[in-house]
Chains A and B, each alone.
Chain A
Amino acid sequence: MTHLKSINRKAHRVTEYVRAEKEGDVVALQQPPAQPHIPLGCSLAFSPGWEADSTGGTAGLCQPVERDIFDCHLGCFWPAHVPDQLNHAPSWTAKCAAAQKDWRKLDLVFPG
Chain B
Amino acid sequence: MIALVLREFHQFQASGRQFLYLVPSAAVFELDPIAGAVIRLVGDAPRSEDAIVAALADRFPEADVRAVAAELRDVRAIGYEHRPDPESPKFLPMMPFPLTTMVLNVTNQCNLACTYCYEYGEDKIVDTEHGKQSKFMSETTARESVEFLLKEAGQIAHMTFFGGETLLNFPVLKTTVAYARKRAAEVGKTVDFSLTTNATLLQPEIIEFLAENDIGVTISMDGPKELQNKFRVFHNGSGSYDMVAPKIKELLKRHRSRPIGARVTLTSETLDVTRIYRHLTEEFGFWEVGFAPVTTSPNQQYAISDGGFDRMLGQFRELAYEFREHVAANKHHGFSNIKDTLEEIHKGVSKAYPCGAGLGLMGVSTDGDVAVCHRFAGSDAHKLGTVKDGIDRAVQQEFLEHHHIADKTDCHTCWARPLCAGGCYHEAHVRYGTTRRPNLHYCEWIRGWTDTCLEVYGELSVRNPEFLARFDRDEAKAEAVL
Q: Are B27 and A2 in contact (CB under 8 A)?
A: no
Q: Are A4 and B75 in contact (CB under 8 A)?
A: yes
Q: Which residue of B lies closest to A1 (CB)?
A: B71
Please choose the segment from A7-15, A33-41, A70-78, A100-108 that sits at the chain B interface, where 4 or more of its residues have CB less than 8 A away.
A7-15
Q: Which residue of A lies closest to B38 (CB)?
A: A3
Tell me the complex Cα distance, A2–B26, Å.
20
Answer yes or no: B19 CB below 8 A from chain A CBs.
yes
Q: Are B25 and A2 in contact (CB under 8 A)?
A: no
Tell me the complex Cα distance, A44–B144, Å.
51
CB within 8 Å for A6 and B472 given contacts A1-B71, A18-B74, A18-B75 = no
**Chain B residues with CB below 8 A from A10, complex form:** 25-28, 347-348, 350
Q: Are B72 and A4 in contact (CB under 8 A)?
A: yes
CB within 8 Å for A5 and B30 given contacts A10-B25, A10-B347, A14-B25 = yes
Q: Are B29 and A4 in contact (CB under 8 A)?
A: yes
**Chain B residues with CB below 8 A from A14, complex form:** 22, 25, 27, 75
Tell me the complex Cα distance, A1–B228, Å.
53
Interface residues of B in 460-482 (CB under 8 A from A): 461, 468, 472
CB within 8 Å for A4 and B458 given contacts A10-B26, A10-B347, A10-B348 = no
Q: Are B74 and A8 in contact (CB under 8 A)?
A: no
Q: Are A7 and B35 in contact (CB under 8 A)?
A: no
Tell me the complex Cα distance, A14–B20, Å.
13
**Chain A residues with CB below 8 A from B30, complex form:** 4-5, 7
CB within 8 Å for A9 and B347 given contacts A3-B68, A4-B29, A4-B71 = yes
Render B25-68 as a binary contact track against A, CB cut-off 8 A, 1 for contact: 11111111011000000000000000000000000000010011
CB within 8 Å for A9 and B75 given contacts A3-B64, A3-B67, A14-B27 = no
User: In the complex, which of the residues A4, A13, A15, A18 has the most CB atoms of chain B within 10 Å of its own CB atom?
Assistant: A4
Q: Which residue of B lies closest to A15 (CB)?
A: B75
Q: Are B347 and A8 in contact (CB under 8 A)?
A: yes
Tell me the complex Cα distance, A68–B64, Å.
53
**Chain A residues with CB below 8 A from B26, complex form:** 8, 10
**Chain A residues with CB below 8 A from B67, complex form:** 2-3
Interface of B is mostly: helix
Q: How large is the interface on B (under 10, 10 to 19, 20 to 34, 35 or more residues)?
A: 20 to 34
Interface residues of A in 1-54 (CB under 8 A from B): 1-11, 13-15, 18
Q: Are B28 and A4 in contact (CB under 8 A)?
A: no
Tell me the complex Cα distance, A94–B184, Å.
29
B71: which of A3, A7, A13 is its contact (CB, 8 Å)? A3
Q: Which residue of A lies closest to B36 (CB)?
A: A3
Q: Are A7 and B29 in contact (CB under 8 A)?
A: yes
Tell me the complex Cα distance, A38–B72, Å.
30
Answer yes or no: B345 CB below 8 A from chain A CBs.
yes
Tell me the complex Cα distance, A2–B29, Å.
11
Answer yes or no: B279 CB below 8 A from chain A CBs.
no
Q: Are A5 and B29 in contact (CB under 8 A)?
A: yes
Tell me the complex Cα distance, A6–B348, Å.
11
Tell me the complex Cα distance, A18–B32, Å.
19
Q: Are A3 and B461 in contact (CB under 8 A)?
A: no
**Chain B residues with CB below 8 A from A18, complex form:** 74-75
**Chain B residues with CB below 8 A from A1, complex form:** 71, 74-75
A36: shortest Cβ distance to chain B, in Å?
25
**Chain A residues with CB below 8 A from B345, complex form:** 8
Q: Which residue of A lies closest to B345 (CB)?
A: A8
Tell me the complex Cα distance, A30–B35, Å.
38
Answer yes or no: B346 CB below 8 A from chain A CBs.
yes
A5: shortest Cβ distance to chain B, in Å?
4
Tell me the complex Cα distance, A100–B241, Å.
76
Tell me the complex Cα distance, A10–B64, Å.
25
Tell me the complex Cα distance, A18–B30, Å.
17
**Chain A residues with CB below 8 A from B350, complex form:** 10
Tell me the complex Cα distance, A8–B75, Å.
14
Q: Which residue of B lies closest to A5 (CB)?
A: B30
Tell me the complex Cα distance, A5–B458, Å.
12
Q: Which residue of B lies closest to A6 (CB)?
A: B29
CB within 8 Å for A7 and B28 given contacts A14-B75, A18-B74, A18-B75 = yes
CB within 8 Å for A3 and B32 given contacts A8-B346, A9-B472 = yes
A30: shortest Cβ distance to chain B, in Å?
28
B348: which of A2, A3, A9 is its contact (CB, 8 Å)? A9
Q: Which residue of A lies closest to B29 (CB)?
A: A4
Tell me the complex Cα distance, A105–B467, Å.
57
**Chain A residues with CB below 8 A from B31, complex form:** 3-4
Q: Which residue of B lies closest to A11 (CB)?
A: B27
Render A80-100 as a binary contact track against B, CB cut-off 8 A, 1 for contact: 000000000000000000000
8 nearest A-B residue pairs (beta carbon): A10-B348, A11-B27, A5-B30, A10-B27, A8-B28, A7-B28, A18-B74, A4-B29
Can you identify 11 A-B contacts, CB atoms within 8 angstroms? A5-B30, A6-B28, A7-B19, A7-B29, A7-B30, A8-B26, A8-B27, A8-B346, A14-B27, A18-B74, A18-B75
Known: A7-B457, A8-B27, A9-B472. 7 other contacts (CB 8 A): A4-B35, A4-B75, A5-B32, A7-B461, A9-B348, A10-B347, A18-B75
Footprint of B on A, CB under 8 Å? 1-11, 13-15, 18
